[in-house]
Amino acid sequence: PSDPKLHHVKQEEEEELYKEELSTEKEHQKIQKVPSCKICGKRFIQQRYLADHMIIHTGAKPFQCGTCGKRFTRKTTLNFHMRIHTGEKPYTCEVCSKSFNYSSGLVRHVRIHTGERPFLCQTCGKSFADGGSLSTHIKVHQVEKPFPCRSCDKSFRNSRDLVRHSRLHTGEKPFSCGFCGKSYPSRGSLKTHSYDHMTNLVRHRRTHTGEKPFSCTACGKFFSDKSTLIRHARSHTGKKPFSCNFCEVTFMDNSQLTRHLRTHTGEKPFSCKNILLPSWILMNCGDE
């Protein structure tokens, strides 16, 4: 006669095996029910994600900009696009206070301060701060350049690029700023410079109007420009993003760091000119 204990153990093993097979079958059925794209076979967690994906294949652009008429495949892309019209720039650089429409723009900009260049050219090893610059550079290795520079060994794809490059050698700066008269070798450089004037003009007008559109969420205090608000906010957070390369002391404001650096360099940029000052002050200062 068989051992009843052994029979019981065998029965338990068979039950466990049955449960495992049943579980595997259920998982398989779940996978079968997951919505998938009939064109490319890609699977999605929910039906709505599949619906979004199908737009890639159909080319449909159901979301239209009410301002310029441009169409988009997704509502989120339309929302990003609208910032071009509204001027909204919600992403601000903590180092220089420059603002951007998109987070990707801020990420690229921050690399100017950090010096990071994560995009590497596989042909020549040159690195770039963003993918767009790398893509432009790669064409240097791929495209014929029939327009050579007479002053150096560089060549260009078209005469326009050659003319722009030649100004580096000649020093020609044909594009002048209508505000300050400063000249630039390219229209793009002038445009970038002009933004500074526009920002300063808007900021200056507020000194007359008294407008202070930027408020601190911590204390409710109002400010006329965003950069001042950002500096003020550090008094609440205690954040000190500006550090000394000599002693690693950190500061809330760049001007504080500049003053501190003079204790290391010995620089004394401000000298006393013998103007109408009390004699006791003149006795204690000089041009040293």
Q: Which residues pair with 72 in a beta bridge?
A: 63
> Which residues constitute the domain of residue 203?
199-268
In a domain, 135, yes or no: no
> Could you tell me which residue, 198 or 233, shows the higher pLDDT?
233
Judged by average pLDDT, the poorest of 40-44, 171-175, 229-233, 277-281 is: 277-281
The answer to whether position 254 is within a domain reads: yes
pLDDT, tens digit, 9 for 90 and up, residues 99-146:
888 888 888 888 888 888 888 888 888 888 888 888 888 877 777 788
User: Is 229 inside a domain boundary?
Assistant: yes
Q: Has residue 43 been placed in a domain?
A: yes
E strand spans, 57-164: 63-64, 71-72, 91-92, 99-100, 119-120, 127-128, 147-148, 155-156
pLDDT of 193? 85
pLDDT in tens, 13-65: 666 665 565 555 555 444 445 678 888 888 877 787 788 788 778 877 888 98
Give the global pTM. Answer: 0.34
Residue 236 sits in a domain whose CATH number is 3.30.160.60
- Does the pLDDT value for residue 287 go beyond 60? no
Residue 146 inside a domain? The answer is no
Residue 245 within a domain: yes
The answer to whether position 246 is within a domain reads: yes
Number of structural domains found in the chain: 2
Degrees, nearest 5: CA angle 253-243-234:
35
Give the model's pLDDT for residue 30. 47
Cβ proximity of 68 and 85 under 8 Å: yes
- The domain boundary, picked from 56, 73, 88, lies at 88
pLDDT of residue 219 exceeding 90, the answer is yes
Contact 144, 157 (CB under 8 A): yes
> Residue 193 domain-assigned?
no
